[in-house]
Amino acid sequence: MKFGFKRTESDAAAVAAKQAELPELAGADIAGLVHGKRVGGDFYQFARANSRRVVFGLLDVAGDFVENRGIVEAARETFRLMGPAFLADDEVNEADAMMEFCHALNASIRNAAKGVRACAAFIGCYNEDLGTVCYVNAGHTPGLLRYDSDVSELPATGMPLGLFSAGTYEAPTAAVPRGGALLLVSRGVVEASQKREEFGLQRLKEKFHGTPLTSAQAVAAAALQAVEEFTRSAAVQNDLTSLALVRPLRN
């Protein structure tokens, strides 16, 4: 089956604009992809904080595309401005800064929604000097970290954004060793179904384990291709979005 990204003209322009903003990383590669036409509130975002840190995220605002467009744009703007603001200082504690960043995103979502609006989110700060990711998983699908023959999960460290005015978020740090990779996917990927059977996290792990780590875009695309092949012609009810960070071995 031929794999293609079927987007409307406006979707394609938006995605192209975001792809143009992909940061260049020292010793690593990062990319995000969207498959098909947006129906919900998924989006990925990148922002360079300083010469050694890049902030990235995959977020899913509850509701359909038309309903939540204003909330998504508010969250995007907050991400773009506040991610660098909190993490620009070389001496800042990354975990503390990430938690403050999440509080700012939480407030932005609640203000734009004029109340409660759930937003699952996986937000990370990649440290290029250390090869580490300090992250908050706010009720999101687990991140998958691959190294050698092992694929481990980075589970939720807090509730989704947008639910409470004062949420609590933990921000642990995970190493991405050389020859390793991090993969994030939206809930729609894991929950995509064919004849009432979900694609599931285990199939995603198996696909990720067998995907050559040639580039972040190839890893992100392989995850979406696996879902398309699994669902075949079944209608997609949710957004299918992926984000990958690959740290190749030195030549």
In a domain, 36, yes or no: yes
In a domain, 239, yes or no: yes
Which positions ≥6 away from 97 have C-beta within 8 Å?
A: 86, 87, 125
Task: Give the strand pairing for 42-48 and 173-175.
Answer: unpaired
In a domain, 88, yes or no: yes
Domain span at 73:
9-247
Q: In what order do the strands lie in the sheet with 240-247?
A: 29-35, 240-247, 180-185, 143-147, 150-154
In a domain, 194, yes or no: yes
Written as one letter, the residue type at 88 is A
Query: Does residue 185 surpass a pLDDT of 80?
Result: yes
What share of the chain has pLDDT > 70, as a percent? 88
Residue 199 DSSP class: -
Domain harbouring 130, CATH code: 3.60.40.10
Q: What are phi and psi of 227, to 5 degrees?
A: -70, -45
**Number of Cβ within a 10 Å radius of residue 26:** 10
Q: What is the mean pLDDT of residues 133-141?
A: 97
**Number of Cβ within a 10 Å radius of residue 235:** 5
In a domain, 1, yes or no: no
CA–CA dist 55, 46 (Å, integer): 6
In a domain, 60, yes or no: yes
In a domain, 179, yes or no: yes
The mean pLDDT of the chain is 88
Closest residue by Cα to residue 244 from 21, 58, 60: 58
In a domain, 2, yes or no: no
The angle that helices 216-231 and 200-210 make with each other, rounded to 10 degrees, is 140
Question: pLDDT digit string (tens) for 209-236?
Answer: 999 999 999 999 999 999 989 987 555 5
Task: Read off the pLDDT band of 67 (50, 70, 90).
Answer: confident
- Global pTM value: 0.89
Number of domains within the chain:
1
